[in-house]
Amino acid sequence: MTDPIRASLERQGFLVLDGGLATELEALGCDLNDPLWSARALLGDREEVRTAHRRFLEAGADCIATATYQATFEGFGACGLDARETARLLRDAVEVAVSARDDFWADLSMPAGRLRPAVAASVGPYGAFLADGSEYRGDYGLSAAELYDFHSPRWEVLAETEADLLACETTPSLEETQAYCRLAAVSHRPIWISFQCRDGAHLADGTPLETAVSLCDEEPHVVAVGVNCIDPGFVSSLITAARGSTPKPILVYPNSGEAWDAAAKRWTGPASPRDWARSAMEWRSEGADGVGGCCRVGPAEIAAIRQGALSI
């Protein structure tokens, strides 16, 4: 198994992730007010997806995530697509990201200062398919075996693509963590698992972060752990909690600090005032191996993160 995270860290010492793909797609004019969310952009010509990837790469991202977070067989099936068409869209999403990466790398006039970016096939939680905000609660009422069965068809397709690894994002529960670890073991593909946390110590379902990270530490195909789409104010304590349970790389990519209103389908409340360059420096000094952003974090913030994180 090739571990792209470890390879990047050995060369550069730190990893800069991308930001909120859906946020950038909306900035490009995409209407994502749909249960498919960012995956809706895959139904068009996908030029906006390619442009969004390119903007994050130009901002300094060492890894970009595909537009498959909310792409599922069930979700596309509700739109009238059959399994064959859904599988094609999943593969196409990875191909768009890979080609955007390859074009960027070919155009880069001074590649000596950069790593060749990686492509992570994004896997959203069961709650993302439900589109009811339950990924921020983790209250599905499903067992690890049932979640394994839900994720397996999409996983099988993504595991056969050119993606460098799979990124299991916004994971809110211990049961979903167990399902991902089993899928990684069966597929023999490197993955990272990042968690949705309700506070500075617990997953959305109340599981202590240390418990979930310890489970990941036991599975060799989980090559990194992290947290995402959390308030930036929780990051420092979550780094400490995760580091106490694993020596594996820790990735943190919070949102802007706003809260998602699932009923109104919009972000509410003020964003946390944030000097992203300084935050990246602090989080790196506290033990984070990679920093990026999630919802409401765009290329400008990623550029600041790169400047701060790599200045140490």
Domain boundaries, the chain: 4-309
- From residue 160, how far is each of 157, 189, 205, 229 by CA, in Å? 6, 9, 31, 27
Q: What is residue 114's predicted lDDT score, i.e. its pLDDT?
A: 82
Q: Give the percent of the chain with pLDDT over 70.
A: 93
Q: What are the tokens at 105?
A: 């790398």
**Residue 112 in this model has a pLDDT that exceeds 90:** no
Rama region for 60: left / alpha / beta (φ>0; ψ in -120 to 50; rest): left
Question: What number is the average pLDDT over the span 98-108?
Answer: 93
Q: What are the tokens at 162?
A: 């050119």
Q: What is residue 41's predicted lDDT score, i.e. its pLDDT?
A: 82
* Arithmetic mean of pLDDT over the chain: 92
pLDDT band at 95 (very low <50, low <70, confident <90, very high): very high
**Residue 273 in this model has a pLDDT that exceeds 60:** no
- What does CATH list as the number for 4-309? 3.20.20.330
For the segment 182-227, what is each residue's pLDDT rounded down to a tens digit? 999 999 999 999 999 999 999 999 999 999 999 999 999 999 999 9
Q: What is the pTM of this model?
A: 0.94
